[in-house]
Amino acid sequence: MKQKPLRVLIVEDSADDAELILDVLRMDGFDVDSLRVETAAAMQDALDGGNWDLILSDYNLPSFSAAEALAVSKDRKLDLPFIIVSGCIGEEAAVALMKAGAHDFVMKESAARLVPAVHRCLLETETRRQFNLAQIALRRSEARFRAIASNLPGVVFQWLQEKDGTVVCPYASEGSVALFGLSPAALQETPGLFLDRILPEDRESYDQAMAASARNLTTWNWEGRIRNGGENEIKWINLRASPRRTSSGAVLWNGIMANITQNKLTEVELKHSREQLAELSSYLQNVKEQERARIAREIHDDLGGTLTAIKIDLLWLHNRLIEERQDLQEKVDSMDLLVDRAIEVTRRIASDLRPGILDFGIVAAIEWQAREFQSRTGIRCETASSSEEISLDPDLSVNVFRIFQETLTNVMKHANASAVHVAIGASDGWLDLEVHDNGRGITRDDMAKPKSFGIRGMLERTRNLGGHIEFSGAPGQGTTLSVRLPTTEAFERSADHQGTLF
């Protein structure tokens, strides 16, 4: 069996007695390394020059005593077991030495009791050593925690809710002064001071979030506004804490509260900027449609009327040319054909700018555009409507029609489809448009392409009108576009946008 090393300093004037003591220890399995001293100076040198596990001291030496040896050990502030081994010591003297710091005493005639005394003293010393190390580690850990907590841009805190609902604050970091205008001591003494800082309109959400976290033992996450004490400054804070249930049934949260005021202000500013961009986009769409309608009217009324007049004049000229001037008649006929083509182009351009069919309602316009698409591309396009007519604001009709046009354009360019099915209907103040093709199917990558302006335009139109749009598809299974728009608020929203911008 492996022997246990033991370094023993023996304060003893008898070499024979010292050897008997060492024999007892060796018999118990100790590998003893020892040094015997008889004077204070020798003991001091031994303590300064060695690393000892144990001190065994006789009670009385000719020029030294156990009390003096104990004093030398204590002066060195060494946590070494000190056991008195003596042949003659009174009870009162033994008690006095024990009070002075000796760990045990053993009579030389009862040497068998030495081994358990040594084991017990060594165990106590090791226990004290481990405890002291743990205390040092704990103090260092607490120092690190306090250093981190005091430098965090927020408040590290503990919140405890007793079973009766009472809330206490066992801990708060120094950040509470900057964030709440409250010292940690004030917050710990009166937790209600923090609740008083919360704005009344945000208190309900705070209570609800805390109750849900306590009930389900889930993360407590809350954002709200507080008023910072004497500064009367309103701040946004984010509270995030993890709960656990204590042995007494209370709920203890460990968490952090951070100042997110700047983030909130940035968020509000960003939201406002997005709203302004949406308003501008809506306004530009409306202006563009109005300009298209104006140009279409001018083309139809002015240019179309002029071309019609030219055609009438050419007919008048043709009828008055003598038959002998066949060359002039052919020239007039050629000019008449050119005018016909110009009239057709004019009609097509005006229709593309703003189809006159829109004046007959969105259902008629959708059906007409579907027939035009089928005629132009050869792709079968079927339409279905829940009613013959759907009453819409003119601006909304134009936007729905443009979304439908862009959808068919995408089908023609990208879908490689042979058939398209269109369904349109309205109920409960909402318009629903669904377009499904049997093509290759749209993917997320298709929708995320940098130059997919058509899809972005449809998304923008729908968002500006307060609606929803969804693209769905799978490879080889076609693509479905679903659009839902409110039928009663679009015109008012559009007018509001224009009023806001100008």
Mean pLDDT throughout 66-91? 85
Closest CA to 152 of 179, 129, 125, 170: 179
CA dihedral over 245, 246, 247, 249, signed as positive or negative: negative
In a domain, 143, yes or no: no
Half-sphere exposure in the Cβ direction for 109 (13 Å, CA): 3
Q: How confident is the model at residue 304 (pLDDT cuts 50, 70, 90)?
A: confident
Closest CA to 435 of 452, 417, 453: 417
In a domain, 146, yes or no: no
Residues 124 and 12 in one domain: yes
pLDDT for res 135 = 86
Q: How confident is the model at residue 152 (pLDDT cuts 50, 70, 90)?
A: low
Half-sphere exposure in the Cβ direction for 329 (13 Å, CA): 9
pLDDT for res 490 = 41
Residues 278 and 198 in one domain: no
What is the average pLDDT value for the chain, to the nearest integer? 83
Largest CA distance in the chain: 166
- Residue carrying structure tokens 């104006």: 294
pLDDT for res 350 = 67
pLDDT for res 501 = 30
Residues 251 and 301 in one domain: no
Count of domains forming the chain:
4
Residues 324 and 392 in one domain: no
In a domain, 142, yes or no: no
Q: How many whole angstroms separate alpha carbon 500 and alpha carbon 502?
A: 6
Residues 241 and 193 in one domain: yes
Cβ(236)–Cβ(260) below 8 Å: yes
CATH number, residue 14: 3.40.50.2300
Cβ(403)–Cβ(461) below 8 Å: yes
Instruction: Give the whole-number percent of the chain exceeding pLDDT 70.
Output: 87
- Residue carrying structure tokens 């559009």: 494
Torsion of CA 325, 327, 328, 334, to 10 degrees: 150
Strand, coil or helix: what is 94?
helix
Cβ(469)–Cβ(433) below 8 Å: no
Range of the domain at 342: 262-354
Higher pLDDT, 2 or 402: 402
Instruction: Give the whole-number percent of the chain exceeding pLDDT 90.
Output: 21
pLDDT for res 497 = 43
Tokens representing 259 are: 């100042």
DSSP state of 220: E
pLDDT above 70: residue 289: no
Tokens representing 374 are: 């089928």
Cβ(467)–Cβ(487) below 8 Å: no
Tokens representing 144 are: 């690190």
In a domain, 23, yes or no: yes
- Last residue of one domain, picked from the residues 224, 259, 294: 259
In a domain, 464, yes or no: yes
CATH number, residue 389: 3.30.565.10
Residues 342 and 362 in one domain: no
Q: Does the predicted TM-score (pTM) go above 0.85?
A: no
Residues 233 and 277 in one domain: no
- Last residue of one domain, picked from the residues 354, 371, 398: 354
CA dihedral over 443, 444, 445, 448, signed as positive or negative: positive
In a domain, 497, yes or no: yes
Instruction: Kindly report, residue by residue over 316-354, the tens digit of the pLDDT.
Output: 887 777 666 777 878 888 888 888 888 778 777 766 666
Residues 344 and 382 in one domain: no
Q: How many whole angstroms separate alpha carbon 423 and alpha carbon 327?
A: 56
Tokens representing 135 are: 């205390």
Strand, coil or helix: what is 438?
coil
Q: Any idea what the Cα angle at residue 154 is, between residues 153 and 160, rounded to 5°?
A: 155
| Burial (Cβ within 10 Å: 0-12, 13-18, ≥19) of residue 377 | middle
Q: Output phi, psi for 193, to 5 deg.
A: -60, -35
Strand, coil or helix: what is 232?
coil
- Last residue of one domain, picked from the residues 337, 354, 371: 354
Q: Are strands 419-427 and 430-437 parallel, antiparallel or unpaired?
A: antiparallel
